[in-house]
Structure 1
Amino acid sequence: MTFKYSLTFILILFLSHINAQKTEDLVLFTVDGTPVYTSEFLRVYNKNIDLVQDESQKDVDGYLTLFTNYKLKLKEAKALGLDENPSYLRELETYKKQLSKSFLTDNQVTDALVKEAYNRVSKEVKANHILVRVSENASPKDTLEAYNKALKLRNRTLEEGFENVRKEVHNGQTIFGEELGYFTGFKMVYDFENAAFNTKVNEISMPFRTRFGYHFIKVFDVRNSRGEVTVAHIMIGKQQKGTTAGTPESRIQDIYKKLQQGEDFESLAKQFSDDKSSSEKGGVLSPFSGGQLSSQEFEDAAFSLNEVGDISKPIQSKFGWHIIKLLNKRPIPAFEEMKSELEAKVKRDERSKLIDDALFLKLRKQYNIDNAQPELDYFVSILNDDYYKRAWTLPADFDNNKPLVKINDRQLTYKDFGSFLLESQGNITSKTTYDILVSKQYETFLNKNLVKYQEDNLENDNPDFAHILSEYRDGLLLFDLMETTIWNVAKTDSTDIQNFYENHKKDYTFPKRIEGVVASSANKKVAKKVGKLLEKKMTPEQIKKLVNNNGEVNIIFTSGIMDSKHQALPPKYKFEKGISKIYNYNNSYIVVQANDVLAETQKTFEEAKGSVSSDYQVYKENNWLATLKEKYKVTINQEALNAVRAQIKNQ
C-alpha cells in the first residue's frame, strides 16, 4: 500500500459506513439537511475509540465534534466536485483493483500453500548448487542442450564428489557452482525451494528448471529454525559527535567492565547507548528472527546467547560496537500466529501462479465455461510472421461482431480477442506454430476476462468488498480535499507563515541548557570523589586515570551541550554553573559540572520553520472548519444524543 493510501486511512480513523439505515434509527444530527443516524455514530465510536489518542475526544461530546467535522469536510469535498476529478476516479479505480485481489482467490489452494510455507519456514536447509545458465525464453534446442549438460555434470558429481566438481566447473558466466549456506522458506525462487526441501540430506537432486537455467543441488543439513529472540543492547556508534572522550572501542570496553562489576544493564543503556530509539527503554529491541536484521554479526551474537540474562562480549558491526543481553528466546511461532503473514507472502511470490490457476478453474465452473476451446482456425489463418516482428495488424475484412465466448451476460466477440492479439504480440519472444500460439493466447484472454467479470461485479455480489471500498472512497476524497485546501496551500503561504511566527514567537525557543560534563558511577563515594576532583579543575581523562584503576571502570563521563531531556541529566538537576550535588538517577550516582548555563533563547524563523509550518497548518485548518460550520448548518438532535450517551454508558 502506498504512503498516500496509509495516510488516507489515518485521516479516516473513525470512518465506518453502513450501507443501509434501519427505519427505527434516530437522526443524531444533520449537515445542511443531510441526516446522520445514531447507528452509524455508535458503530464508528465503538470500533475506533481505543485508537483515538486525544483523551478529550474519547467522551461522546468530544468524539461527536470529531465526527461532525469529518462530515462537514465530506460535504465540502462533494460541493467542490472533487468526487468527479479524473485523478480521483483513477486512483479509486487503482485501489479497487488492488483491493479486489484479496477477494479474487481460491482459498483451498491458498491454505495448502500457506501450510506448506509454514513447514518450510520452520526449517533451515544447508545446500550448495551447480547452475547451467540458459535464457528463460531459449529455443527448445538450447534448452535441451543445457539440460543435458546439467545431467552430465550431475553424473560426474556422483563419481568425483559434488564439491570437487562444483569448484572445478564454476566460471561465473555460463556455469555457477555456489555455496548457499543455510536458508529457509521464501529465501529462494519457489522451484529452487521445492527442490531443496524435497531432497534428502547428503543426496543430490536431479536437474530442475528455474528462470535462471538448470540447477542441481546437494543438501548437507536440515535443522530447525532458530526461532525468535528479544534482546537489549548498548551501542556505541562509529562516529562520535564530540560528546564523549576516547574511541568507540575503548568506551564500549569501559561499559563492559562496569557490567562485569555488577552494574545494571538497563541503567547503563539509558545513560550511554547511542541508539536513541532503544536507550530510553534500557536498550530493548523489537523481537527478530533469523535473516531479519541487516547485520549478520549482531544476529549471530544474539542467537548464540542461550539463557535469559546472558550478556555478550562487545561485538562490532557496520553500525558500531554492541553489548547484547538476551531477554527472551522462543521457537518459531505457532501456525495460527503466522498464518496471515505467510498468506501475504504466498500471494506475492511465484506460488501465486498456482493460486491463479486454481481461480481460473473455479471461475470456469462458476460461469459454466466449457473447457473445450471455441473454433479458433480463423485466427490461425490470419496470423503471419509479422506477429513475431510486432508489426502484425488485423485484416481489413476482419469480422468484429462475431460472437466468441459468453461469460454470464457478457458476450465477448472476435473484436475482443483480435484486439487482445494485437496488444499482446509484443510479449511473444520465441517462435512456435500459429495454432499453439493462438491456443495459448486464447487461454490467457479467457482467464483475464473471467477475472475482470468477477471484479466488475464484486461490489454487487460481495458485501464485505462493498463496505471496504465505500470506506476508502470517502477517505480518498477527504485526502484530496485536505491536500487541496490545507496542505498544499500552507506550503505556499510563505508570508502568512512568517507572520504566524512573528505573532507566536514565544512558542519557539531553545530551552535552558548547560555546556559541561556529567560523571556517572555506581558508587556514591566515587561520585563524591569525582566531584571534588572536578572542583580542582582536573579533566575527565585525568580523573579516569585516578579512579578507574586495577582494570575496573568506576566512572564514565558524558560531555557536551545538554538540555533537561538529555539522557545523562537527572530530572531534578538544577541548571547552575559549577559542580552539582550528587543525584541518584538510573541506579547510579551522578555529578554534573556545568561550565556554562545557556539561557532560554528565541529560535530564529529558520530554526523554527518546521514547527511553525506544522502549527500554521493546524491554525489554518481550524479557521477553515469555522467557515464550513457557517456554510453548512449542523443541527444536533438532543434526544438522540442523550440516547447515545445512555447506551455507551451501559456498555
Structure 2
Amino acid sequence: MKKTFLWTALFLLAAWRLNAQEYLFIIGTDTVMPEEFEYMYTKNLDLVQDPQQKDVDYYKDLFVRYKQQLADAKAKGLDKDWNFRAEYSKYRRDLAKKYLKDEEAVDRLVREAYERMQRDLDVSHIMILVPEDALPADTLKAWKKINKIYKKLRRGAGFEQMALQYSEDPSVKENKGHLGWINVFHTVYPFESAAYRTPKGHFSKPFRTRYGYHIVKVNDERPAVYRVQVAQIMLIKGKDPESARKRIRQIYEQLRKEPESFEELARKYSEDKMSAKRGGVLPPFGIREKIPAFEDQAMALKHKGDISEPFETPRAWHILKLLRKDPVPPFDKVKAELRRKVMNDERSRLAQDKVMQRIRRTYSVREPVSYRKALKFIDESFFQSRWKLPEDWMKQQDVILVINDDQKVYMKDFLSWLYRHQQRNPQAYKHRKQILDKLYKEFKDEKLKSYYENHLEDLYPDFARTSKEYYDGLLLFNYKSKEIWEKAINDTLGLEKFYKENADRYRQPTRYRVAIVETSDKKTARRIYKALKNGIDPKELYKLAGDKALVRVKVYDEAQAKPYIGKVRKQKKGDKYEISGVLDKIDAHVPPLKEIRGKVLSDYQKYLEQKLMDELQQKYPVRINRNVWNRIRSKYKK
C-alpha cells in the first residue's frame, strides 16, 4: 500500500512539474521528452533491414525496456562505480578534443601549409638568443641588439658579414648564417612564416621564435621538389682520397661513353653496399633529408636519366643518376598528412588560441580578491624550484576568481597550482610581480578551459547527444554484465537447475552415424564394403582407408538416414567407387550439461533477462502521454 502511494505521489509530482511541457514517457521518476525518442528511433533507421525492427510500436517497447534498465542501474549505484566513471571520462575527454580547437583555423593552417609547399626557399639568418621565459630586461636587451643589426642591414651592410659578426647561432662560423633550402615544417612556425612572407633577395624585419630574435634573408626560391629519387655510385675516400678521386673520374668517363651501363657499374664499383645490390638505387627523399652537397647535386638534375659529374662530400665521392622527380601532389592526396603535421606542430596553438578567445567571450569572470595576495607566500625558493606550500595553505579560502557566477576558485587552488609551476631562475625573484601576473593568466585560462570542457553539453547539442549515448550504452553494458551475463556464468547451481527443469528442450532425436567412402582402388573398395557389412568402429574405418580412400562421417536424423539403414551400398561413379552405410545408431537422449553448456548458458541468460524485465515492469511503471504518442505514432506508422 505504501509503495503504491509513493509511486502515485511521484507521478503527480512529475506531472505537476511538466504541466507546461509535452513529455512522452515517465518511467519511474525519469522523464522522456518526444525529441529524445524520435532522435533515437530515426538515428539509424535507414540501416535497419528487419521490417519489424523498423516498426515504431516495436521500437517503443525496446526503448522502454532500455530506459527501465538504465533506471535500475542508477538505482543500484553502477553509475558511481570507479571503473565506469574512469572509462566514461576517458571517452568524454577524447570526444571533447575537437571542441578544443577551432576547425576553421585548422583548415586555414592546412591550406596555408599546402600553398607554402609549392616553393622551396634558400635562406640565411641572424639570431640573437633569448629564452622564451627570459626576464623582461633580458628580452629588451636582445630586442635592442637585433634592431641595431637590422638598422645596419637597412643602411647596406652585408648580410653574411653581419651574421659572422653578431649572430649567436652556434653554427654561424661554419655556415656564415646560410641555412640552405627549406620548405614547410622544416623550421619553427614563426621562422617559416617570416621566410615565406619575405621576397627573394630581401630580408625580414626582426621577429621572435622560442629560441630568440631573428632576421631571415631569402637568397633564392624555386618550384618545390616534393620527392626525388636517384641512383648513385659511391667511392669512399678512406686513407687515399686522391686515388678515390681518380677512380671516380675513370668511372665517369666510362659512363659518358655508355650512360646505360650505370646500373652495372654501380653493382661492380659502388662502395655503398646496400644500394650497390640494387644497381645504386636509393629510396626517394625530400629536401633537408640528405647532407647539403648531396642534396644540391640531386636537385640540380633536371631530366630522367641525367647523370651528374663526380662530386665530393666529407666522406666520399659520388656520381648520381636521376630516376624521378615528383612534384607536389594534389591537395586531396596530402591533406590528411598536412593536418596531422599541423596538429603536432606549434602552429596548432593558433587554433587553440581561437578557442580560448571564444571561451573568454562566453563566460563572465569576477575577481573578488586580488591574486597578488599570493606574493606574500612567494620567496626566493620559488625561483629555485624548492618552494614549499605554506603550512596553512588549505585555509586560504579567499575567492580570487568566479566563473560564470557558478564556479568559485580559491587562493588555495592558486597556491597549489603555483607549487606545480615553480621556476628555475634565481635572478627572476626581483621581477616576481610580473612573473606572478603571467602565471596567474595561465592559471586563469586553465580554469576557464576546464569549466568550458565540463559544460560542453550546455553549448553543443551534438556533443550532449553523443556523450549521453556512450554514457547510457556503457552503463547498460555494465548493468547487463552484472545482472545477467556474469550471474548466469557464476550461478552453477542455478544453471544446473534450469537445465534439469528444461531437459525436454534439449532432447535430441534418434540419429545415425553414416560413413561415405570414396576410393579409386578396387581392392580397398571391397575391403571397406566388407567392413561396413560386418560393422566397424569409425576409428578402425579411418585406419583401414589409410591414404587410399577419402572417408566422410555424417550424423543424420531418421529421415536423412533412411536410404542407408539396413544396407551397405557400393556404386561406381566414373573412375571411383563410393561405399556408404550406417556405422551406428544414436538413441534419442538428453545430452549431459557439459556437452551443451554453451546452448544452455545462452538460454539461461535469456531466462534471467526476461525475469529481470518482468521485475522492472513492476519496479519502474511507465506512464505514457497518449496525445503525444499518438502524434508520433501516426507520423512514423505506415
The bucket for the TM-score relative to the shorter chain is 0.3 to 0.5
- Does 1 or 2 have the higher relative contact order (CA < 8 Å, sep 6+)? 1
Task: With the length of structure 1 as denominator, give the TM-score of the two structures.
Answer: 0.47
Task: With the length of structure 2 as denominator, give the TM-score of the two structures.
Answer: 0.48
Bigger-Rg structure (1/2): 2
